[in-house]
């Protein structure tokens, strides 16, 4: 039996995934958590073989959790299963050591097959997302530009962003201008939207 850990902050989604995967004769769900910072401990405690991780969770995001699993409990492989099929997420997930990346509307049969392949040590990636990721490329944003865009996503003023990021207002304006140039955006809000869509704003 392949022992599975499910990590998703939406209880309904976790329950639905568990019900679907438990129907498979060779798969069993042995643990469920709703926070990214509970993944490693739960994987160890349950001796999970494969962790199915959402990207956006409280505590720690799924990509960071995948990296922590690889570092501290490599016996458990990770498969990112997310609503947010963003090219930047895919690249970062694979860099973090995730063995696979699929979207939540993947048919149950294909998801079960992905779990089996990851368990065998293979890499599984949503094909459409793989093509899109190659087309988009890596994030052009520096860490500081990303931080400023994350702060800007709240819709505050330049002064608000400066306070949140501990930068001067002039520096914030420079970073916003650079980020807009790199994303091809005409406005700050458009830069935030484009960066979010490409998965470039995750920590």
Classify domain 2-136 by CATH number. Answer: 3.40.50.2300
Cα 2 from Cα 174, distance rounded (Å): 51
Would you state the pLDDT for residue 198?
81
Q: pLDDT tens digit string along 9-27?
A: 999 999 999 999 999 999 9
pTM of structure: 0.71
Q: pLDDT tens digit string along 112-134?
A: 999 999 999 999 988 777 666 66
Angle, helix 62-72 to helix 39-46, in steps of 10 degrees: 50
Architecture of the domain whose range is 143-197: Orthogonal Bundle (1.10)
Backbone conformation region of residue 29, classed left if phi is above 0, alpha if psi is from -120 to 50, else beta? beta
Q: Quick check: do 2-136 and 143-197 share a fold?
A: no
17: helix, strand or coil: helix
Tokens standing for residue 114: 């992905």
Sheet holding 100-103, edge to edge: 27-33, 2-7, 50-53, 77-82, 100-103, 124-125
Helices (H), 23-152: 39-46, 62-72, 87-95, 108-119, 127-136, 143-152
Ranges of each domain in the chain:
2-136, 143-197
Q: How many angstroms separate the Cα of 203 from the Cα of each of 92, 102, 146?
A: 10, 20, 9
Q: pLDDT tens digit string along 154-203?
A: 889 999 999 999 999 999 999 999 999 888 888 899 999 888 888 788 75
């Amino acid at each position: 039996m392949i022992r599975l850990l499910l990590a998703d902050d939406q209880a309904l989604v976790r329950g639905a995934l568990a019900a679907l995967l438990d129907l498979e004769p060779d798969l069993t769900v042995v643990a469920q958590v709703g926070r990214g910072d509970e993944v490693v401990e739960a994987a160890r405690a349950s001796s999970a073989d494969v962790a199915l991780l959402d990207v956006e969770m409280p505590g720690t995001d799924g990509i960071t959790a995948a990296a922590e699993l690889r570092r501290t409990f490599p016996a458990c492989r990770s498969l990112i299963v997310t609503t947010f099929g963003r090219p930047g997420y895919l690249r970062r997930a694979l860099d973090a050591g995730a063995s696979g990346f699929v979207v939540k509307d993947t048919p149950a049969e294909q998801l079960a097959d992905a779990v089996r392949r990851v368990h065998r040590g293979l890499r599984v990636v949503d094909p459409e997302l793989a093509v899109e990721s190659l087309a988009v490329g890596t994030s052009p944003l520096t860490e500081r530009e990303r931080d400023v865009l994350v702060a800007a996503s709240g819709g505050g003023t330049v002064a608000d962003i400066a306070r949140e990021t501990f930068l001067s207002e002039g520096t914030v304006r420079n970073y916003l201008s650079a980020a807009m140039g790199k994303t091809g955006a005409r406005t700050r809000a458009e830069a935030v939207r484009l960066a979010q869509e490409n998965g470039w704003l995750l920590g």
